[in-house]
Structure 1
C-alpha cells in the first residue's frame, strides 16, 4: 500500500513531524492538550504533511524547517475538522466520538481556535514572508469555502460551478498550499512553485470528489462516520447534483423531503442512493476525480524522476482507488 511505502521512505521525517505536533500541543490549560491529542492522534493519515514533505524533497530541500511547517498544516486541517463537526452536528470522526459530542461545542470551537493560533505562530516563527502570505491567504479562502457551503446547505439549486468552487476553496486550497510551501523551501523558481500548487489543488479536488462518492458507497468502519452523512446534513455533493439534473419531479421531491425532514430513515436514504445510481451520479464523480488525477500528474512531469516523484505519482493514483 502506498501509505506504507511512504512511511518506509520518510519514516524518520514523519516521526519528526509527530514530535513537533506533540511539542506544540503543550498548554498551561491541561484540557487543551488532552483534547488536541485526542483528535490529532486518533487515526489521521497525515496526507497534508506527507505532501509537504514529499514536495520539499522533490524540490531538493533537506533542511529542518519542513518539520514545524508540516505540523502547522496538520494543525490547520485539524482546526477545520473541529469547527466543521460543530457546524454539521457530527458525532463520529475517524470512528471515534467527535470532540463536540464528547466535550461540547464550545470547547470544540475554542480548541480549533487554539490550533489555528498555533499554526500561525509556527508560520511567524519560520519567518518566510512568502509562506506567511500563503497561509494567511489560504485561511481566508478556506473560511470563505466553509461559509459558502453553510449558506448552500439544503439548497437543491446549487450549481456545479458553485459546488466546484466550494470544494476548491474549502478542501483543495490547503493541499495546494502544502505543495507551494514545498517548492518555496526548495528555492524553486516561482513558475515551478506555482506548478506544485496546481498539483496540490488538482490532487485535493480529486481527493474531495472521491470522498463525496464514498459517502454513498463506502463502509462506515472505513469511513469513520455514518454512510450518507453529507446528504443527511443537507450537503449537495456531485453525485446528488448529477442525479438532480436528470431526475423526475417525483425523484426530486424524494431528495428534497429527505434533506428537509428531521426523520432521515434508512429506507428513504437507500431509495435516494438508488436514484443517484440510476443516473450514474457516483460513477460521474469518480470519473471526474480521475480527470483531476491525470491533471495533477501532468503538473509533476516538470520534475525529475526520483523517490519523491515516484511516491507522489503513486499517491495521486491512490486517491481514486482508496476504499472504492
Structure 2
C-alpha cells in the first residue's frame, strides 16, 4: 500500500544525517559490537542463533551510540562506556523480541521476525536471557548509580508495555495517556543511555540531568515520527511495511487526533477498524485521507519538533564540539525522517 502522504514543506535545505555521529563513534561501536557478540554466547545453541538474528537486524545501534556519544561529550577517556553501551543494546533487543510476540509481528526491518522463525516461546525466553545478561553487564561495571539508572529504565519499559496493552485498540485514548506510554516504552531507554555517559565521566548532576532530558525528549520525538511513518510511503525506504500499526489496530497519536477531530461517521470508522479490527479493502487509504483532512500527521510532526527543540536546548550547557554538533544533527535527522 504505497500511499504518499503530503506532510508539509518544512524540510531543511540540507537533509540531516547520522553520518557524522557514526564517524565520531565508529571505533567505539566496533568494540561494542564485539562485546555484544562475546556476551550473547551460550552453550544453549538456540540462544546465540536467535539473538544474533535480531541483533544483526538492529539498524544503526542508535541507543548504544547515545551512550558512546554522551561519554565523549563529557570528555570520558576510559572504557566503561563500551560494556554499558552493549548493556543498553541488550535491553533494547530484549524488548524487541517481546514486542514482536505481543504484536504478533512477522517482520522486523524487512526480514522475518525471530518469533516468525523460531516461535513465540523461544523469542520470549531468549528475550529473558538478554535482559538477564544486561544485568550481568551492569553488575560487572560495578557502579550503583549506573545500576540504578538502567534497572529503573528496564522496569519503566515493562510498565510502558503494560500501559500500551491498556490503551490498545482504543481510539478514544487521550493524548496524555499515549505520551506516557511512549515516554516509558521508548524514550526512557534513550534517556538512560544518554545519562550514563555523564555518570561514567563523573560529571556534575546538572550535566547528568541535561543528558537525561536530551535523551528523553529525543526519544519522544523519535517515536512520534515513527507513528507518522506508518502512514507514509517513506516507510518502505526504511525497510518497514506501510500500515502495520493500522492493520494491528494499534493506537498512535495520528489516530487519537483524528478521533478527537472527527465526525460521528468518522468515529464509527475508527471503532470498526481500530477497536474491533474489522478491516476491509481500502480502509487504510481512507484512514490516511481522514488524517490528511484533519492535518493529524503534520500536527504529530509539529509535536515531534517541539520535543526536538527541548532536546536541543538540553545540550546547551555543553561546550561546542564536533560531537555536540553531531548530536544536534541527530535530533534533526530523527524528525526529518518523515520527509
TM-score past 0.5 threshold: yes
Q: How far did residue 323 of structure 1 move?
A: 4.6
The answer on 1:292 being equivalent to 2:307 is yes
Residues 308-319 of structure 1 correspond to what in structure 2 (within 5 A)?
308-319=323-334
The Cα of 1:307 is off from its aligned counterpart by 1.5
The residue aligned with 2:215 is: 200
Q: Distance in 2 between matches of 1:190 and 1:100?
A: 41
Tell whether 2:55 aligns with 1:40.
yes
Say which structure, 1 or 2, has more relative contact order (CA 8 Å, 6+ apart): 2
Structure 2 counterpart of 1:257, from 250, 269, 272: 272
User: Counterpart of 1:55?
Assistant: 70
**Aligned-pair distance for 1:220?**
4.9
Q: Which residue of 2 aligns with 1:183?
A: 198
Distance change in 2, residues 1:43/1:78 (3 Å): closer
Structure 2 residue matching 1:166: 3-state secondary structure:
helix
Q: Does 2:201 align with 1:215?
A: no
The alpha-carbon deviation at position 231 of structure 1 amounts to 2.2
CA RMSD, 1 decimal? 1.3
CA-to-partner distance for each residue in 1:292-321, whole Å, 9 max, x for gaps? 111100000100011111111111111111
TM-score by length of 2: 0.93
- C-alpha offsets along residues 136-176 of structure 1, whole Å, 9 cap, x if unaligned? 11111111111010121111221111011000011000000
Aligned partner (choices 162, 184, 191) of residue 177 of structure 2: 162
- d(CA) in 2 for partners of 1:274, 1:323: 17
Q: Which residues of structure 1 form unaligned runs of 5+?
A: none
C-alpha distance 258-37 of structure 1, shift in aligned 2 (>3 A): same
Is the 2:161–2:185 Cα contact (8 Å) retained in structure 1?
A: yes
**C-alpha distance in 2 between matches for 1:218 and 1:314:** 23
Matched, 1:229 2:244: yes
TM-score by length of 1: 0.97
Query: How is 1:60-99 mapped onto 2 (pairs within 5 angstroms)?
Result: 60-99=75-114
Runs of 4+ in structure 1 displaced over 3 angstroms?
218-221, 260-266
Unaligned 5+ segments in structure 2 are 1-15
Aligned to 1:28: 43
Cα distance between partner residues in 2 of 1:292 and 1:30: 43
**In the alignment, is the contact (CA less than 8 A) between 2:247 and 2:277 conserved in 1?**
no
Please say which of residues 262-271 and 14-23 is displaced more in the overlay. 262-271
Report the counterpart of residue 135 of structure 1 in structure 2.
Answer: 150
Native 8 Å contact 2:138 2:147 kept in 1 = yes
Q: Are 1:92 and 1:224, in contact at CA under 8 Å, matched by a contact in 2?
A: no
Farther off after superposition, 307-316 or 227-236: 227-236
Determine if contact 1:176/1:196 at 8 Å carries over to the other structure: yes
CA shift at 1:5, angstroms?
Answer: 2.1
Q: Judge conservation of contact 2:33–2:86 (CA < 8 Å) in 1.
A: yes
Q: Deviations over 1:264-288 (max 9, x none)?
A: 3340111111111100010010010
Partners of 1:84 and 1:28 lie apart in 2 by 26
Number of equivalences:
324
